[in-house]
Amino acid sequence: MSRLHIAFVLELYQPPTQGRETLERITKECYLPLARLLVAEPRLRVTLSFTASLIERLETWGLGDALIGAVAEAVSRGDVELAHSGAYHSVFPLLSDREVRRQIALDRESKDRIFGPTEPRGILPPELCYDDRLLPLFRDLGFRWTLVDDKLLCRFGIPILASEVYRIQGLSVLLRSGFWSDHLRHPRAAGGHWTGRDFAEVMAREALGLQRDAYKVLMLPGETFGHHIPYFQETFLRDFLYALSDHPDLCLSTASELLDGERFAQISPPPASQNGFDALPPSSLSTQVEDWDRGDPYPHFRSRGNPIHQGLWRLTRLILRVTDRLRLDRPELQRLRGLLDPAFYSGQYYHASLWFWDEGPVLEGLDRQMRVLYEYARVTGDSQPLRLGQRIYRRILREVHRRRQTGTKKEAI
């Protein structure tokens, strides 16, 4: 009997600016119930990205003890697999290689400290922001697999694999089911959210016609379960787990387990050099075909024609350019290094997009970036980048004010 292996990949993340009140609420509604579910249900095999930024926030606000203990128990038992990511959830394809390596190293350090030494198995670029350029870097750091959203592949005639896995530059590239992952997060057309049993039935129907084992990777924000959708960890995850007993052709796997043995052959993607990329298109988990056609592979983070995005990235590039010249491991630059690490978290760019416009995170991010430039000027005596940064800062504030005045979000909608 062929089986459909379902891998849930959950990303738990909070930005480095997250306040106590919000984090406390999310912990109560989501993180803690989810962690307790993982401890209570060993059959619930999932891959978890527990980002360093979240660990830091939990520790800062003294909210992590019970949560981290529960996750650690599930991890040590082997039911939960930890995947790595960028410590502060930055948009990898738009950072320098040095900063990407640093973000990953910090994430590993944080996890190793909390959960004991972790093996580099899977790497989830924040928001699944992908670029072929990242693959050799991931491979050099010892990772076996990464995850890419599958929504753009049809646009280029690249098959969405169900029973094989792409192997590119020595790394296994799993495909996130964009359709199902996105569907599960939203109410159904008939009303109400998905239940685990309903979803199991749909998956079982897909499994019916299988000639050989197949897989499906569903990646969702961990906060979906209990925070975005109340009690979803119960009504979906636990319900799904119990429904599996009625569907022997369905099973749960961690992402790494999909690659164990010879179950799924590893193949190369078709040549794609005419499309402006080597193997797979640059994308994020929210990139739609029309975004790509408009020239926006990362539409929520750097959209063409969005002056706030333009300003934020101009500032980011300036900071990367000037700090790239420095040896940041020198003791006198430790503070600069510490400011640089959380400066480029994804939320500031995300909330500058038309769809998710929220000036609070944008301005917080802007200030985080400016702190780097002030510190750079202070420790190096070179204030030119700060002056240029201040000009960019003013332009961004002007655009923020304009958007505030014109209510662009509503118009866009």
Q: What residue ranges bind another protein (CB under 8 A)?
A: 335, 363, 366-367, 370-371, 374-375, 377-378, 386, 390, 393-394, 397-398, 400-401
- Helix 307-323 to helix 359-380 angle (10° resolution) is 20
Tokens of residue 3, six digits: 């089986």
Least CB distance to another protein at residue 408 (A): 16
CA gap 319, 140 in Å, rounded: 26
CB of 374 to another protein, least distance (A): 4
Residue 89 CB, shortest distance to another protein, in Å, is 20
Own/partner pairs, 37-41, CB within 8 angstroms, 24+ separation: 37/233, 37/234, 37/237, 37/238, 38/70, 38/71, 38/74, 38/79, 38/80, 39/70, 39/73, 39/74, 41/238, 41/241
Report the alpha-carbon distance of residue 13 to residue 31 in Å, rounded: 10
- Considering the complex, what minimum distance in angstroms separates the CB of residue 390 from another protein? 6
Of 211 and 405, the one with the shorter C-beta distance to another protein is 405
Nearer to another protein, 277 or 374 (CB): 374
Q: Is 393 helix (H, G, I), strand (E, B) or coil?
A: helix
Q: What is the DSSP letter of 31?
A: I
Shortest reach from residue 319's CB to another protein, in Å? 15
Q: Which is nearer to another protein, 328 or 397 (CB)?
A: 397
For residue 329, count CB atoms less than 10 angstroms from its CB and return exposed for 0-12, middle for 13-18, buried for 19 or more.
exposed
Provide the terminal-to-terminal Cα distance of the chain, rounded to the nearest Å.
48
CB of 363 to another protein, least distance (A): 6
197 vs 371 by CB, closer to another protein: 371
